[in-house]
Structure 1
Amino acid sequence: MIKLEKNQTGIASEFYVAGELGRLGYNVSVTFGNTKSIDLLVEKNGKSKAVQVKGIQTTKSICWNLDKTKVLDNIFYVLVNLHVNETNEKPEFFILSSAECLDLFTDTPKEKNKRTYLDYKKVKKLGIYQNAWGKLDSEDLEIL
Structure 2
Amino acid sequence: MEKIIIKGRPAMGGIVEAPALVFPDSLAGNSGSLQDKTGIIMEKGNPNRGLSIKGSILVLPCAKGSNGFSAHFKAAKISGVCPAGWVITKVDSRLGVAVASLDVPAVADFEEVDPVQVIKTGDWVKIDGDTGLVEITRNPL
Q: TM-score range by the shorter chain?
A: under 0.3
Determine which structure has the larger helix proportion and give its number.
Answer: 1
The TM-score with structure 1 as length reference comes to 0.26
TM-score by length of 2: 0.27
Q: Give the number of the structure with larger relative contact order, counting CA–CA contacts within 8 Å between residues 6 or more apart.
A: 2
